[in-house]
């Protein structure tokens, strides 16, 4: 699609791998190793710097297998369309149905 901006998302595992490589080999080597296919290297460079700033969050996300493969770090309730109270009510209702073996 001409004119469209395409961003490749990376898992938290991949982000941490990139950060570690950057810290030992520098930005030039990191861009060559992980982003050689990207035409706008400056954008990838900025992305690496941003990941480095968020390293603590990324490392925390890599502690469990479930969150290590995720590409976005969102806190609970961010992507929900229901208010938290309504969502909790819904969870209780579903659990009650499960307990009744419905």
- 1 pLDDT higher than 60: no
Query: Does residue 50 lie within any of the structural domains?
Result: yes
pTM: 0.65
Domain count, the chain: 1
Confidence of residue 4 (pLDDT cuts 50, 70, 90): very low
Confidence of residue 2 (pLDDT cuts 50, 70, 90): very low
User: CA-based angle 54:58:64, to the nearest 5?
Assistant: 165
Query: Does residue 32 lie within any of the structural domains?
Result: yes
Return the pLDDT at 97: 92
**Sign for the pseudo-dihedral over CA of 84, 86, 91, 92:** positive
Query: Does residue 33 lie within any of the structural domains?
Result: yes
> Which range of residues forms the domain containing residue 39?
12-99
Query: Does residue 45 lie within any of the structural domains?
Result: yes
pLDDT, one tens digit per residue, over 44-102 is 999 999 999 999 999 999 998 888 888 887 676 666 678 888 889 999 999 999 998 86
Distance CA(15)–CA(50), nearest Å, equals 10
Query: Does residue 89 lie within any of the structural domains?
Result: yes
pLDDT, one tens digit per residue, over 21-55 is 999 999 999 999 999 888 888 899 999 999 999 99
Query: Does residue 7 lie within any of the structural domains?
Result: no
Residue with tokens 């969870």: 91
Cβ-in-10-Å burial (0-12, 13-18, 19+) of 30 comes to buried
Residue with tokens 């009510």: 89
Instruction: Determine the average pLDDT of the residues in 12-17.
Output: 95
Query: Does residue 19 lie within any of the structural domains?
Result: yes
- 5 pLDDT higher than 60: no
Cβ-in-10-Å burial (0-12, 13-18, 19+) of 61 comes to buried
């Amino acid at each position: 699609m001409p004119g469209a901006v395409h961003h490749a998302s990376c898992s938290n595992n991949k982000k941490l791998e990139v950060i570690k490589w950057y810290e030992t080999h520098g930005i030039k080597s990191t861009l060559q190793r992980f982003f050689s296919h990207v035409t706008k290297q400056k954008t990838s460079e900025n992305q690496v710097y941003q990941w480095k700033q968020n390293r603590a969050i990324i490392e925390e996300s890599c502690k469990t297998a479930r969150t290590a493969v995720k590409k976005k770090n969102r806190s609970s309730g961010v992507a929900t369309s229901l208010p938290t109270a309504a969502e909790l009510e819904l969870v209780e209702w579903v659990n009650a149905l499960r307990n009744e073996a419905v």
